[in-house]
Chain A
C-alpha cells in the first residue's frame, strides 16, 4: 500500500509561500505551454519529416532539377532539420502557418475569416448540449430505472454511436424534405440573402445589434439543424457522464445524513448531490469541445456551412497540408487551453483538491 505523503507547500522566492491561486495557475500554465510545444513539434515532424516534399506542388512539369532545387531552397527545405525546426517554431509563435496551396493566401488569414461561422455553430451546440445533457443526466439518475431513464439511455447510446454526418442527413430529410418546416443545407443564410454588418461575426447577434431584423429569423432557422446535430452528441456524452456521477453522489454518506436529518428530497438532490456531481462533468466538458471541433469538419460539409471545418475538409481533399495543419494545430491549442482552464476552475470549485 502506497502511503500518501503530503507534499510540502511549494515556496516562491526566499522561502515565502506564493499565494495558492498564483501557484495553481502558474503550474497549469507551464503545463499548457509544454503540451502546446509538444503539439507544435509533432505537427512539424509530421509535415516536414514524414510528408512528401511539397516541391512538386510548386514546380512545373518542365522544370529542371536545378529549378526544383531553387524552389526547395526558397521554401527553406534545404536547411538542416534543426534549423527548419527553429524557423517553424518562430513562425508558429508569430501566427504564421504558411500559405495555403489552394487559396494562395496565408492559412492564418483564411482561418480567421472562417472561424466566426464555426464559433457561432459550436457555441450554440455546446450551450444546447450542456443544458439538455446535464438535465437529462440528473433526472435519469434521480429516477434511476424508470421508463424515462431507460428511454434516455437508449437515445444517448445512439447519440454516441451514430455518425454525425448520418444524423445530419437524416435531420435534413425529416425537417426539410418531408416536413418542409426548416430550410435546406445552404449554409448560414438562404441563397441570395445578404449577411448583416459584422460586429461579433455571429449572424444572429449581429442582426439584432445592427437592426437588420429581417435576417434574424432566417439565420436562426439555418442554425437549428446543424446545432441539433452537433448538440445531440455533446448532450449524449454529458448526459451519460452526469448520470453516472449523480448516481454516485446520491449514494454518498452525506446524502444519507441529510435524509436522516429530514431534509426535503428536492433540497438533497438539487443542492447537496448536484453540486458534488457536477464537478467531474466540468472536466468532461473539455472533451466535448474537442468532439465538437472534430464534428465540425463532418457536419459543416453536409450543411454547406462556410466555416473552418469545411475549409479543412476542402484542404484535406486537395492535399493542402499547410491548411490542414493550421486547422489541426489551432484546434489542439484551443483544446489544451480550455482543458487547463477547466482544470483550474475544478481545483477552485473542489476544496478537496484545493487543499
Chain B
C-alpha cells in the first residue's frame, strides 16, 4: 500500500530532466554528454584532461617537482625542459602539472563542501522558515557585504595560513549563494503537488525535504557549483600568490606565479606564464560546464 502511494508520489513529481534520467546508467551518461550542448561537453573534456594530467603527475613527472637545480637557472623552454626552468633551477613543466594536483583537488574539495553545507543550510531555512530563516538571511547579507577576496584575506590573517584554513576561508566565499539558491528552490517547491503528496502519505518533514524536495532542486545548485569553481580556483591561487596559501613550500600555481614574478622584468616569461595557463584552463572548463547546465535548464523550461 505504502509502496504504491510512494510510486504515486514519484509520478506526480516534476519529470526529472534528460540529464538526470540519462545519467542513471553509464552508457546513458555518455550518450547524454555526446548529445549535450557544446559548452557542457567542452567543459567536461577540459576538466577530464586536467584530472588525467594531475593523476599522471602522481606517478610520472620529467623531474621531481619539488627538486631544485635539476637544470640551469631561469633557462627558456627547450627540449630538456619543455616549460623552461625557474630562478632556483626547478623544472617548470614538472611543477605545473604537479601543482595541478593541488589546485584541482582543493578547488573540488571547496566546491563540494560549499555545495553540501550551503544546500542543507538553505534547504532547512526555506523549509522551516521562522527565526532560523530570518537569522540566516541577515547573516548572509552581512557576509556578502564584504568584498569576497578581502574577507578571505582578513580571516586568514587571523587564522594563519595552512591547508585547512585555506579551505575554510575560500569556502565562505561561494557559500552564501548556495544557501540562497537552495532556500529559494525549496520555498517555491514545498507547496507543489508532489511535496504535498509526499507529506500526505505520512512522511516526516525531514524525509519530505531530503528525499523528495532536494532531489528535485539540485540543478541550479549544480550550475552554480561549476560557475563558482572558476573563482574558487582563482582565489586559491591568489592566496598562494600572496604567500598565505596552503603551505609555504607547496607546489601550487599561485605560489609558482609569485616565484616567477621577479624574473618577469628580465624577460623570463615562462616561469609565471604556464601556471597562469593552468588556472585559466581549469576556470574556463568549470565556466563552460556551468554555462552548459544553465543552458540545458533554460531549454527544458521552455
A residues contacting B by CB (< 8 A) are 35-36, 38-39, 41-43, 46-47, 50-52, 157-158, 160-163, 165-166, 169-170, 172-173, 176-178, 184-185, 290-291, 293-295, 297-298, 301-302, 312-313, 315-317, 319, 321, 324-325, 327-328, 331-332, 335-336
Contact = CB atoms under 8 A, between A and B. Distances in A.
B272 interface: yes
B279 to A, nearest CB: 6
B202 interface: no
Given A294-B149, A328-B146, A335-B145, A163 B158 contact: no
Contacts of A336: 145
Contacts of A50: 158-159
A99 B228 CA distance: 37
18 contacts: A46-B155, A161-B234, A162-B234, A166-B257, A166-B279, A169-B264, A290-B147, A291-B147, A294-B149, A297-B150, A298-B241, A313-B242, A319-B157, A321-B157, A324-B153, A328-B150, A328-B153, A328-B154
B141 A173 contact: no
Contacts of A165: 238, 241, 257
B283 interface: yes
Size bracket of the B interface? 35 or more
A35 B257 contact: no
Contacts of B139: 38
B291 to A, nearest CB: 9
Given A321-B158, A335-B147, A297 B153 contact: yes
Given A38-B141, A294-B147, A328-B150, A173 B269 contact: yes
B149 A297 contact: yes
Nearest to B281: A161
A332 B269 contact: no
Given A51-B158, A290-B148, A316 B242 contact: yes
Interface of A is mostly: helix
A161 B279 contact: yes
B284 A157 contact: yes
Contacts of B266: 177
Interface in B214-262: 230-231, 234, 237-238, 241-244, 254, 257, 260-261
Contacts of B243: 317
B284 A161 contact: yes
A80 B218 CA distance: 45
B257 A294 contact: no
Interface in B147-202: 147-151, 153-155, 157-159
A89 to B, nearest CB: 15
Given A160-B287, A163-B257, A47 B158 contact: yes
A327 B265 contact: no
A313 B141 CA distance: 26
A35 B264 CA distance: 43
Given A163-B276, A328-B151, A35 B145 contact: yes
A173 B257 contact: no
Contact of A327 (B150, B238, B244): B150
Contacts of B231: 160
Contact of A169 (B151, B242, B272): B272
A251 B261 CA distance: 47
A176 B261 CA distance: 14
B273 interface: yes
Given A46-B154, A162-B279, A38 B241 contact: no
B299 interface: no
A100 B174 CA distance: 31
Nearest to A51: B158
Contact of A293 (B147, B157, B244): B147
B150 A331 contact: yes
Given A157-B287, A324-B157, A302 B261 contact: yes
A170 B157 contact: no
B267 interface: yes
Contacts of A319: 157
Contacts of A316: 153, 157, 242, 244
Contacts of B279: 161-163, 166
